[in-house]
């Protein structure tokens, strides 16, 4: 092992006072309680506290009451973690243990905890035992109380609590571990506390050096924003958070703000409207199911500064709801355990402080004469699985068995849907946007729809009675209506943010902000007073155009035609028309915690896995398909005429009828033509591995 020069905080060996050996404790936890005794000068402690220590070493003792001897423990804190080396008196048997710095979630120091800590302080006497002893020996009650008070006053030790969750293989699990170090180098509690704080601070610094951006942001004073749906988890969302999540956040020393959702789309409105989101928070954690995460995602994309928000605010999820496909997919990506304690394991991922890019799929759909855009992270369904998911809601009272019962019914009365399916295979890398035909179809509206919509356009549809997750194109004021007036600062402030206006063909007026030939995509205000000279006006115009050009490069420009534009086979698009039992697109490995739908999917592979089941498939084959989704064996290994899976970058579904079910991330949307395109790595999600 390579290590920096050793700077010891204590060099004197000491007696130990501990009531347990170095062994696993209750709830798979372990405890080492050791005390440091000796003489360390106050000046040396102060110098050690001021020095930037990479490595600390302490010699501790653990009392073995059965053998009536002390076991020597050498504890070394270094950037790799905490080494514990146990030596026997014969010096022929040595046990070593490394607690990796990544497995340590936090530490605390101070006086001894009076109550049983998470992971167990077995040396603490329980109240029940005390009451029994006092009942059996009432004459000793006063003496015991006096002795306890005297011992409390005589204990000048400082305690360091190290909280860790060790990762174990076969089976994959996290073992809760607690290490307690007792420092008693002086009769002065302040000096002992200074030594304990040095170790505590060094642990925190080592964790920050591991490259965890979240740890650095929290060290800068930023908090986590936690959005909790109290109705999740069969209405026990608040209780689950208080019992399982909050204690872990305390151990990790994570400061957070908790927001309780009160109505649908609350999270989306809160995230979109909060102005100090990036300045105040280091990330956003959703304590609910996939539905609340969908709201947060679309709320971020509805902000004027959505690019910065997606870059600086990683998103995490704690599975307190019923649909937990994303939480399971993230655990699968990180090779982290999920069962039997999904809330605990997901919380450990959220406090790790690392983030990994994740794909986002931009979805366009039309219903009657309306055009909507939303952003998806999980799946899009048409046909069998969507029917089972939505129609079984009437049996929600029986729990997860509702899916099995409704799947049997749907197999008996199998449905087929006629329509057209277009998809762009992943092997066909179309770098240039698909060219529109020279003449628009006769059925196309006079004002063609844009191929790319920005969050600002979504904000214009908030007053619409449709769901807030949708956005509708609306007319915007002409360019000539906007003037830069340096003599009125309030007029300038209203253009403080960029207006994301992509190259659109929504309006045919050449002077419109949405003009197809306009080069402007964003408008900025220029502070200060404006001169009336032509030279000054030219300078302002050049600065605006430069800002617009820079902004235009950052906007994720769509590479496919709009939903109402035709798709050309010359650009790599494939097309089939007929009857389908199901078309389901997934971009995460799991659709639910027990549905391993796309085994080859990755968080940031830039692919959509399109599963197509055509009419004519046998019911027995379809039954095997549904049963195999639990372990990922449902997809055919060889070429199959009825069931096919293919990686694509975009697809379009055009149903022929007007009755059916379409779902996006498990939520039902209006039935009609729908188109999806993947944007690789658009957001960051909290993981333990990082990029």
Residues marked as catalytic: 290
Taking alpha carbons only, the member of 577, 571, 545, 576 closest to residue 558 is 571
**Do the beta carbons of residue 481 and residue 468 sit within 8 Å?**
no
Instruction: Give, for 581, the enclosing helix (H) or strand (E).
Output: strand 574-586
Instruction: List C-alpha distances in Å: 241 to 164, 218, 288, 346, 615.
Output: 20, 21, 10, 12, 46
Neighbouring residues of 97: CB distance < 8 A, sequence distance ≥ 6: 83, 84
Task: Give Cα 271 to chain centroid, integer Å.
Answer: 15
Three-state secondary-structure class, residue 3: coil
Chain position carrying tokens 């205000």:
525
d(CA 218, CA 211): 13
Half-sphere exposure (Cβ direction) of 207: Cα atoms closer than 13 Å: 31
d(CA 471, CA 454): 9
What one-character DSSP code corresponds to residue 391?
H
Cβ count within 10 A of residue 51: 11
Instruction: List C-alpha distances in Å: 103 to 34, 107, 226, 349, 429.
Output: 21, 12, 23, 11, 41
β-strands 662-664, 379-383 pairing? antiparallel
- Please name the residue ranges forming H helices in 439-580: 455-459, 489-493, 534-554
d(CA 521, CA 9): 60
Instruction: List C-alpha distances in Å: 112 to 44, 123, 496, 585.
Output: 25, 11, 53, 54
d(CA 161, CA 32): 10
Task: Give Cα 229 to chain centroid, integer Å.
Answer: 16
Tokens of 83: 């080494």
Chain position carrying tokens 């979504």:
458
d(CA 319, CA 316): 10
Neighbouring residues of 247: CB distance < 8 A, sequence distance ≥ 6: 118
d(CA 672, CA 653): 8
Taking alpha carbons only, the member of 503, 533, 501 closest to residue 517 is 503
Task: State in Å, rounded, how far the first CA of the chain is from the last one.
Answer: 26
Neighbouring residues of 143: CB distance < 8 A, sequence distance ≥ 6: none
Q: How many helices (H) and strands (E) does the chain have?
A: 20, 26
d(CA 296, CA 310): 11
Beta strand ranges found along 173-274 (DSSP E): 173-184, 223-228, 256-260
Three-state secondary-structure class, residue 512: strand
Half-sphere exposure (Cβ direction) of 210: Cα atoms closer than 13 Å: 27
């Amino acid at each position: 092992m390579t290590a920096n020069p050793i700077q010891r905080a204590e060099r004197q060996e000491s007696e130990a006072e501990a009531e347990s050996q170095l062994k696993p404790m209750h709830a798979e936890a372990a405890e080492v309680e050791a005390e440091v005794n000796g003489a360390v000068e106050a000046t040396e402690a102060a110098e050690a506290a001021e020095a930037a220590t990479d490595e600390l070493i302490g010699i501790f003792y653990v009392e073995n009451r059965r053998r009536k001897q002390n076991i020597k423990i050498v504890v070394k804190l270094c950037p790799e973690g905490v080494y514990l080396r146990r030596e026997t008196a014969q010096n022929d048997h040595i046990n070593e243990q490394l607690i990796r710095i990544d497995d340590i979630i936090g530490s605390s120091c101070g006086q001894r905890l009076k109550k049983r800590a998470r992971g167990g302080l077995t040396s603490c006497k329980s109240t029940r035992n005390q009451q029994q002893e006092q009942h059996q020996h009432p004459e000793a009650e006063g003496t015991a109380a006096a002795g306890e008070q005297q011992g409390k006053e005589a204990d000048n030790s400082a305690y360091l609590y190290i909280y860790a969750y060790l990762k174990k293989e076969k089976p994959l699990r996290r073992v809760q571990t607690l290490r307690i170090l007792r420092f008693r180098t002086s009769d002065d509690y302040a000096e002992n506390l200074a030594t304990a704080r040095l170790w505590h601070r060094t642990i925190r610094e080592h964790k920050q050096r591991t490259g965890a951006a979240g740890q650095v942001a929290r060290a800068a004073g930023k908090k986590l924003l936690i959005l909790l749906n109290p109705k999740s988890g069969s209405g026990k969302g608040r209780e689950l958070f208080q019992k399982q999540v909050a204690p872990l956040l305390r151990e990790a020393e994570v400061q957070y703000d908790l927001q309780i959702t009160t109505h649908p789309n609350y999270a989306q409105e809160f995230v979109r409207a909060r102005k100090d989101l990036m300045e105040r928070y280091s990330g956003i954690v959703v304590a609910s199911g996939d539905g609340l995460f969908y709201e947060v995602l679309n709320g971020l994309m509805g902000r004027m500064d959505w690019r910065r928000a997606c870059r600086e605010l990683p998103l995490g999820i704690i599975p307190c709801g019923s649909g937990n496909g994303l939480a399971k997919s993230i655990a699968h990506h990180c090779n982290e355990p999920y069962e039997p304690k999904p809330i605990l394991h997901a919380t450990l991922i959220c406090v790790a402080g690392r983030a990994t890019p994740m794909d986002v799929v931009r979805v366009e759909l039309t219903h009657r004469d309306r055009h909507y855009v939303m952003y998806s992270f999980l799946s899009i369904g048409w046909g069998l699985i969507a029917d089972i998911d939505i129609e079984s809601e009437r049996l929600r009272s029986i729990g997860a068995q509702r899916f099995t019962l409704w799947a049997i019914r749907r197999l008996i009365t199998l449905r087929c849907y006629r329509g057209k399916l277009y998809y762009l295979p992943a092997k066909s890398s179309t770098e240039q946007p698909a060219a529109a035909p020279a003449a628009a179809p006769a059925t196309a509206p006079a004002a063609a729809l844009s191929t790319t919509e920005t969050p600002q356009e979504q904000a214009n549809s908030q007053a619409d009675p449709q769901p807030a997750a949708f956005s509708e194109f609306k007319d915007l004021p002409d360019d000539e209506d906007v003037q830069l007036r340096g003599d009125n600062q309030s007029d300038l402030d209203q253009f403080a943010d960029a207006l994301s206006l992509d190259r659109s063909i929504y309006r045919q007026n050449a002077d419109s902000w949405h003009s197809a030939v306009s080069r402007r995509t964003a408008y900025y205000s220029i502070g200060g007073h404006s001169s009336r000279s032509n030279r000054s006006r030219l300078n302002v115009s050049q600065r605006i155009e430069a800002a617009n050009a820079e902004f235009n490069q950052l906007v994720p420009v769509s590479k496919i035609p709009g939903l109402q534009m035709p798709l050309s086979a010359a650009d790599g698009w494939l097309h089939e028309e007929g009857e389908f039992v199901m078309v389901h697109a997934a971009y995460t490995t799991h659709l639910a915690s027990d549905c391993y739908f796309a085994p080859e999917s990755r968080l940031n592979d830039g692919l959509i896995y399109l599963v197509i089941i055509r009419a004519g498939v046998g019911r027995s084959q379809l039954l095997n398909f549904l049963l195999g989704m639990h372990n990922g064996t449902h997809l055919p290994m060889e070429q199959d005429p009825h069931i096919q899976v293919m990686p694509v970058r975009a697809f379009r579904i055009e149903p022929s009828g007007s009755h059916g079910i379409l779902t996006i991330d498990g939520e039902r949307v209006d039935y009609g033509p729908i188109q999806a395109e993947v944007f690789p790595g658009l957001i960051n999600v909290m993981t333990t591995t990082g990029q």
